[in-house]
């Protein structure tokens, strides 16, 4: 019964709180997005620690990404990633056709400009989770038609 | 698998974010607690709307309180309230013997002074939920031994 609602509503409230003090300037918006990304990073770190407590060691990078797409995504967003693609050279694209944190917004292009705020936390979440598994990455997101979105993970080789 | 973790970690991160700017003065701490309470209020309003969408009309105030203790609490904290008491004159005491948002802290008295920050959001959550069901209230919380705590709801008669 609405198991995802507390997280989703708290996330919305957080965005509201962080962005209401921003004055609308691009620099302020950028700062809000960075704050959200950082908070996501720390939550992702904590979360992956709990989730991997009893799992077997991961074989390789792809194995780690599959864990993110299935177990990790289900824990946070109550569904799996719908599609995972990779170029086998360190770029992964995770597609969610009905992303929880965009579901409460109208489809169509009306609110598209607000999407970055609603994706920043999750970009950080993925980056934090990967970081705790020893995988350094850059994570970005894009939306073309809500509530579908794609997260691109670029692995940073050491 | 760790279903409560995303909400719990996001809640901790929120407290960290709101309180880190406070300078430690009592007035600042009070302000942080008020902010958290207000955020809880709005989340509580949103949540109860979703949860009561398909429920039958509530008989009376006690019936509303029982819904908070069972369905509402389970949705957010993954367990029911352990004990509900009332003086039948508008005061209700909800006891949770293992409150999710205190579970990550050591038991004992060491962190007792931090408890108000960790309870403010939930006080607002209950107040917001009741408010949307037409019940105006004041909600306070107290902890004697972590992670058990009691929420006192005082109904404000119109």
DSSP string covering B39-51, please? Answer: HHHHHHHHHHHHH
pLDDT for the residue numbered A26:
66
Q: How many Cβ atoms from other residues are within 10 Å of residue B67's Cβ? A: 18
Which of A9, A43, A51 shows the shortest C-beta gap to B46?
Answer: A9
Give the DSSP H/E element, type plus range, for residue A46.
helix A26-51
Looking at beta carbons, which residues of chain A come within 8 Å of B12?
46
Which chain A residues touch B47 with a CB distance below 8 Å?
A: 2, 5-6, 9
The SS3 of residue A6 is helix
Domain parsing of chain B, residue ranges: 5-155
Q: Print pLDDT tens along chain B (158 aa).
A: 578 899 999 999 999 999 886 666 666 778 899 999 999 999 999 999 999 999 999 999 999 999 999 999 999 999 999 999 999 999 999 999 999 999 888 777 778 888 999 999 999 999 999 999 999 999 999 998 889 999 999 999 87
pLDDT 10s digits, A112-148: 888 999 999 999 999 999 999 999 999 999 998 889 9
How far is B51 from B48, CA to CA, in rounded Å? 5
Q: What is the ipTM of this complex?
A: 0.92
Percent of chain A exceeding pLDDT 90 equals 75
Q: Coil, strand or helix: which one is B85?
A: strand
Is A146 near chain B, with CB under 8 Å?
no
Interface of B with A in 12-51 (CB under 8 A): 12-14, 17-18, 35, 39, 42-43, 46-47, 50-51
- Closest alpha carbon within chain A to B13: A39
Enumerate residue ranges in chain A where pLDDT < 50: none
Interchain proximity A35–B17, CB inside 8 Å: yes
A28/A32 Cα distance (integer angstroms): 6
- From the list B2, B13, B50, the residue facing A39 with the nearest CB is B13
Determine the pLDDT at residue A23: 63
- Per the CB < 8 A criterion, the answer to whether A141 and A122 are in contact is yes
Q: May I ask the CATH class of domain B5-155? A: alpha beta
């Amino acid at each position: 019964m609405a198991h995802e609602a507390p997280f989703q509503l708290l996330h919305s409230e957080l965005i509201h709180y962080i962005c209401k003090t921003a004055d609308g300037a691009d620099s302020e918006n950028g700062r809000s997005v960075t704050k959200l990304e950082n908070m996501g990073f720390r939550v992702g770190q904590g979360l992956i620690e709990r989730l991997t407590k009893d799992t077997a060691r991961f074989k390789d990078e792809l194995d780690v990404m599959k864990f993110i797409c299935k177990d990790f995504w289900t824990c946070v967003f109550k569904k799996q990633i719908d599609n995972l693609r990779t170029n086998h050279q360190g770029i992964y694209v995770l597609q969610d056709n009905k992303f929880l944190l965009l579901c409460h917004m109208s489809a169509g292009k009306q609110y598209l400009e607000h999407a970055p705020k609603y994706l920043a936390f999750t970009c950080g979440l993925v980056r934090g989770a990967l970081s705790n598994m020893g995988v350094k990455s850059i994570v970005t997101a894009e939306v073309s038609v809500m509530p579908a979105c794609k997260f691109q993970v670029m692995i940073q080789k050491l």
